[in-house]
Amino acid sequence: FDQAIRSRVSTLQDKTVPALFLLAGGSLPWLGLNGALAILWYAPGTRMNLFGPMSMLNFLHICSQKRILLKDGRSLELLADIDTVVFDKTGTLTIEQPTVSQITSTGGLSEEELLIYAAAAEYKQTHPVAKAILTAAAERQLHVPTIDDARYEIGYGVKVQLAADGEVGKTIRVGSERFMDLEGISIPADIKAQQAACHTHGYSLVMVAIDAELSGTIELRPTVRPEAKEV
């Protein structure tokens, strides 16, 4: 950034040369040769080659004390021209784990029952979606049943068999629309519209199917960091 400042100083000096010569020449009869030379010597910008970089370093030091990291001095200079700021969302403005914001039942189950089935399916998973669902179930103090076996499709969803006292249990599928398509689960038009609305707002929609029928959805929204607004 030192080179950039020097370039700006040189430009300033070039612009002031004609005026300085006129001023020095006009003062020659009254101040003499030494006075005229003094005017030329103390031209604007002469000491900026030294003080400019020192000032920039001082501003960078002030920023560091306020826990603001700047790439270089040029970035600080360009702040005056910025009209748009783009943030990386996940991990910067939000934490990794989302939050359950809405539960929609389409198969006659209550919201709590649908959440219990989803939490049971995700019980052994550690990804952010599973953690969000399990956290919501824990906050509502819901009892999550045990899992007989589970099959997880990476990036799509999870399929589990719930234990039922020796009898064949329910098959629970929790995942994306694509996972439901792969499993042969039909998705109603209103659920597809809900998913489109979620995508528009940057939310995620997790679908829950029991046996061969879609039973509801769980909407997940990003969890904003408490300090994001202040930052």
Q: Tens of pLDDT along 148-185?
A: 667 777 678 899 887 655 445 788 999 999 999 999 99
Res 168: pLDDT: 56
Q: What is the pTM of this model?
A: 0.62
Q: What are the C-alpha distances in Å from 81 to residues 1, 63, 76, 77, 98?
A: 17, 18, 10, 8, 35
Q: Per residue in 66-84, pLDDT tens?
A: 888 887 777 777 888 899 9
Strand-strand pairing, 213-221 and 204-210: antiparallel
In a 13 Å sphere around the CA of 14, the CA atoms on its Cβ side amount to 6
Answer for the pair 221, 128: CB distance below 8 angstroms, yes or no: no
Residue whose token pair is 């509801």: 216
β-pairing verdict for 157-162 and 99-105: unpaired
In sequence order, what are the beta bridge partners of 102? 219
153 beta partners: 157
Closest CA to 28 of 36, 19, 38, 16: 36
